[in-house]
Amino acid sequence: MQTKKWRQMKNEYKVPVAALLRNPGSRQEANFEVKAPSGIGDSFYGVKEGSPVGLKAVLFSMRSGLEVKGEISATEEGKCSRCLKDIKRPVKVEFSAFMPFEKEMEEDSPMPYDLDEDGIYPLSGDFADFEGLIRDELALQLSMVRLCKPDCKGLCPECGADLNEVENHSHEKQPDPRFRKLADLKERMTK
Ligand SMILES: [Zn+2]
Ligand SMILES: [Zn+2]
């Protein structure tokens, strides 16, 4: 299997595409699994470095480089921002990108590409390098709302109890008025 060959290479994110580049108009499929690169999310929430990332892509050869379309799947994990419970859920991203020849990136090229532009990842020699693409696409896709469930009630600010687990949790400073008289009575009696 080709997957194995790529894994054994020094940089597992690089896919050899020499034959494809020589034949504009042709296409190549790439399906492989890699370890997630660092830098997707932060220490509280993200795709953990080294966790499995699946990539399915079709690479189309063009005169100026490769057009790439595909899907990335991974697992995002972290803590619920309200109740701090651990969250782990699958994330899937569809992407399309362009991988121009390195010379197309140069300033005197007829049409230089701007690296700051989304979805531009220059080829590195005869290899398509997916590391930056995987990092960018997953980072963009990370859930903005980091909750264990949409209506997570969070923790009690006074005692830290998980309000999802207990019903009618409260720390009322004012006793129930119905008990007020009773409390007063009790106070008088103990004096
Ligand atoms: Zn929660
Ligand atoms: Zn409480």
Q: What is the pLDDT of residue 6?
A: 45
Within this chain, do residues 87 and 11 fall inside the same structural domain, yes or no?
Answer: yes
Q: Give residue 87 CA to ligand 1 midpoint distance, Å.
A: 8
* H, E, C per residue of 74-120: EEEEEECCCCCCEEEEEEEEEEEEEEECHHHHCCCCCCCCCCCCCCE
Q: Give residue 64 CA to ligand 1 midpoint distance, Å.
A: 48
- Closest Cα to residue 22, out of 57, 67, 66, 58? 66
Within this chain, do residues 132 and 94 fall inside the same structural domain, yes or no?
Answer: yes
| CA-to-CA dists, residue 186 to 79, 119, 173, angstroms | 46, 74, 18
Ligand nearest to the CA of 147: 1
Q: Give residue 71 CA to ligand 2 midpoint distance, Å.
A: 44
Q: What is the pLDDT of residue 1?
A: 44
Within this chain, do residues 91 and 170 fall inside the same structural domain, yes or no?
Answer: no
- Residue 97: domain span: 2-141
CA distance 33 to 128: 15
Domain count, the chain: 2
Query: Considering the domain boundaries, does residue 185 fall inside one?
Result: yes
Query: Considering the domain boundaries, does residue 149 fall inside one?
Result: no
CA distance 184 to 179: 9
Within this chain, do residues 46 and 120 fall inside the same structural domain, yes or no?
Answer: yes
Within this chain, do residues 119 and 171 fall inside the same structural domain, yes or no?
Answer: no
List the chain residues with pLDDT less than 70: 1-10, 111, 115-116, 173-180, 182-183, 185-186, 190-191
Query: Considering the domain boundaries, does residue 121 fall inside one?
Result: yes
